[in-house]
Amino acid sequence: MTHSDVHGVIVVDKPPGVTSRRVVDSVSRTLSTKTVGHAGTLDPLAAGVVVVCVGHATKLVDFIHQQEKAYSVSFLFGRSSPSDDLETELTIESDPKHPSLDQVVASVSNQCGVIQQLPCVYSAKKIGGKRAYKLARLGQSFTLKPKEVCISHLGITSYAWPKLELTVVCSSGTFVRAVGRDIANDLGTTAVMETLLRTAVGPYKLTNSLPLAAITPDESGQELLKGAFLPL
């Protein structure tokens, strides 16, 4: 199989602790082609769907990236961090509030629909040509502007303080970490994201994904990718 006859989309299940770049590199190495790209970065700490486009399908990257995305996510109340997750140092509240389920339900509903969301400080947003997370790591102060996003679904799957588990369907550009941050702020407390699993990007589902570990640079890996490609 050569690069000239490989065109299509493959859904990869990225494990936590791995970059989206590594997913692309694995597919590129196995297929012996450099015409590979992903339709939307997934943070290293997160797991789940990374849509990889190969050959002519790379022209669809921007289109796929703009599709709605679905997640399963867990947050921990009563603690905060600069990155709004477990990547940076935690600050534990000495006397945290314990919101009731009814209070959480009301706050969750406030986050649904078209909202103005303040991006996370530790993000890839550009400030004067530099990534916000790089400036944050250098201890530099800066101001981010709220951005309009659409959260079409927020469902509570479990709540037992301090953990809140949600399912989320949202527009491209939504910060899921910020959803928990803002729910907590509305409740008079703080929260960090504990885990994040992306379950879909548009029509591309986790249930149809290929584990990253299965993409090996040998004949068996190539054959597996052949069968996993979604035709254009």
Q: Which residues are catalytic?
A: 43
Looking at 126-175, list the stretches that DSSP marks H as alpha helix, in order from N- to C-terminal side. 132-137
State how far the alpha carbon of 8 is from the alpha carbons of 38, 51, 66, 67, 228, in Å. Answer: 12, 11, 18, 17, 10
Q: Is 92 exposed, middle or buried (0-12, 13-18, 19+ CB in 10 A)?
A: exposed
Whole-number Å distance between alpha carbons of 199 and 83: 22
DSSP per-residue string spanning 3-40: GGG--EEEEEEEPTT--HHHHHHHHHHHHT-S-EEESS
